[in-house]
Amino acid sequence: MGAMPSSTALPADHPLITTDPARSTASSPLITAYRGGTPSRKPVWFMRQAGRSLPEYRALREGTDMLESCLRPAMASEITLQPVRRHDVDAAIFFSDIVIPLKLAGVDVDIVPGTGPVLGAAVRTAEDVAALPELTDEALEPIREAVRLTVAELGSTPLIGFAGAPFTVAAYMVEGRPSRDHLGPRTMMHADPETWNALAAWAADASGRFLRAQIEAGASAGQLFDSWAGSLSLSDYLEYVQPHSARALSHVQDLSGETGVPLVHFGTGTGEILPAMRDAGASVVGVDYRLPLDEAHRRLQASPGADGRGAVPLQGNIDPALLSAPWEVLEAHVREVVETGRVAPGHVVNLGHGVPPTTDPEVLTRVVGLIHSLQP
């Protein structure tokens, strides 16, 4: 997909570096915690906080399919803003989908209700990969416009951009649809590594450009989301996946650093590969609900990377299943998550995956209030 971007600075009016206090996100609780500082209040946001759990989302989306709603800038912006207004969370997460870069590149893909992403044709041979179209800079304009609209409304509340990690994106492409065991991509890694690496590199560049477009347009942080990396062994991850995740993050690496855009790397079932995920280039590691935060911190601290980094700020990890439990059970769990997260250099509270669509929005609002009442 061509050379990596050469720009080394955020736009002058970017929320992280603007001198306008009404729009600056640099000292917000979220960015402060992501950078390992002590925030003014304990920051919290939820993956999938925008979406099916909100009646206002369902009303807005009525009659509009998923991909279309992501590509209508005004609608995507409004959906992104809804949970910030309702819950007082400390960040908005850009409303989109990991297959949007495929759609914008010209790949035949749709999101089928009740199934998920489905491709018109699976990508399984070298010829299939070679025939993939290139994602152009111009095609990303609807994404930039949606981000600009959102940031204009958020003020000093940060927007988090996101993209699917190359393994998860490529896994959908190989299978042609969602899969429980991801046998197709796991087999391709070993049976045809050249084709696998070409496909994963394509996915990395598509996701990297997608993420960069969001950040340049005003997102104050970025998250690489690897839904299916937990299906991999550590050795397979290191050889066949980590280099491609690093490639995706390299598209925005020049915009990160100590005073730049924090980058979060999150995956589900990834407790055994957290240090490898950190070493792909993230400055924050997201932890799912399966592993206590203090144990995640210990594993990262005990396994420093080649650059000497060990423990990093963490994000997570309330168990989504407990959102429907009695309040006293949920409250005790939230307090425990906050306490175990204190061992890390910084901690942003989140779920250990996404908001279930059956969640009562009032519960999320109450959880946010509880977290904000605790010592940061």
Q: Hey, which residues does 159 pair with through a beta bridge?
A: 92
The single residue of 34, 35, 90, 97 carrying the catalytic annotation is: 97
Q: For this structure, is 289 an active site residue?
A: no
The single residue of 61, 72, 298, 366 carrying the catalytic annotation is: 61
Query: In this structure, what DSSP letter does residue 121 have?
Result: S
Compute φ and ψ for 322, nearest 5 degrees: -80, -5
Is residue 224 within 8 Å of residue 211, measured between CB atoms?
yes
Is residue 102 within 8 Å of residue 91, measured between CB atoms?
no
Smallest Cα–Cα separation from 348: which of 166, 89, 59?
89
Rounded to whole angstroms, the Cα distance separating 312 from 305 reads: 11
The single residue of 34, 57, 172, 240 carrying the catalytic annotation is: 172
Q: Which regions of the chain does DSSP assign to beta strands (E)?
A: 92-93, 109-112, 116-119, 159-164, 221-226, 263-267, 284-286, 314-315, 347-348
Q: For this structure, is 180 an active site residue?
A: no
Give the strand order in the sheet containing 159-164: 92-93, 159-164, 221-226, 263-267, 284-286, 314-315, 347-348
Residues whose CB is less than 8 angstroms from the CB of residue 212 and which lie 6 or more positions away in sequence, other chains included: 5, 251, 252, 255
Q: For this structure, is 48 an active site residue?
A: yes
Rounded to whole angstroms, the Cα distance separating 109 from 39 reads: 41
- Residue 66: both structure tokens together: 């998923």
Side chain identity, residue 361: P
- Residue 111: both structure tokens together: 């999101």
The single residue of 23, 41, 52, 298 carrying the catalytic annotation is: 52
Smallest Cα–Cα separation from 219: which of 80, 51, 86, 85?
80
CA–CA distance from 235 to each of 149, 239, 242, 338 (Å)?
43, 6, 10, 32
Q: For this structure, is 181 an active site residue?
A: no
Q: For this structure, is 52 an active site residue?
A: yes
- Residue 286: both structure tokens together: 């997201």
Query: By three-state DSSP, how is residue 168 classified?
Result: helix
Compute φ and ψ for 69, nearest 5 degrees: -65, -30
Query: By three-state DSSP, how is residue 31 classified?
Result: helix
Compute φ and ψ for 252, nearest 5 degrees: -125, 5
Q: What is the maximal distance between C-alpha atoms in the chain? A: 56
Side chain identity, residue 273: I
Point out the residues that are catalytic: 48, 52, 61, 97, 172
